[in-house]
Amino acid sequence: MTQNGFWHQHSLINLKKIKNRIKKNEGYINTPYYDQLGYRTIGYGHLIKKNEDFLEKKKYSEKYLGEIFENDFNKTIYDFKKNYANKGFKKNVQEVLIEMIFQLGINKTTKFKKFNKYLIEKKPHLAAMEMLNSLWYLQTPKRVELLINILLNHKNDKRKK
């Protein structure tokens, strides 16, 4: 995917960097599995939909699952643009929102009412507190902490790239 139009107008988000971070945070499994919430998942965190037919013990190719990841990521970018592109957020805030949408989906991301309100009000520390005060944090604390560091623009993420 090339960086065009929208991204040139808005602080040039590095989509490749975001994709790589999402892949690292999601992990990769080439057979269907149940995530920590009991949802069938495959590849880089792809939630298997009811109309998708993945065989339980079959190993799927990295190329095929990579294409599914690209489709999921493109949908994430579409949802981000539709819901957040006109808000004038800084690059780090956009990155956090994109990763949240990928992990949680757009519906759950927009339900973080106070979080979204604080982002619009340019109060990232209060937005970060909302992230900490969530069921999401209890489910994936390391990931939320990483995103909080990005949101607060801390450069001290010691995890290897």
Q: Reply yes or no on whether the pLDDT at 160 is more than 60.
A: no
Express each pLDDT in 94-150 by its tens digit. Answer: 999 999 999 999 999 999 999 999 999 999 999 999 999 999 999 999 999 999 999
> Would you state the pLDDT for residue 107?
97
pTM here is 0.87
CA distances (Å), origin 95, targets 30, 50, 98, 155: 26, 29, 5, 14
Q: Is the per-residue pLDDT at 78 higher than 90?
A: yes
> Which domains, ranges and CATH numbers included, belong to the chain?
6-151 (1.10.530.40)
| 52: amino acid identity, one letter | E
At residue 43, the 3 state secondary structure works out as: strand
* DSSP H helical ranges for 29-90: 62-84
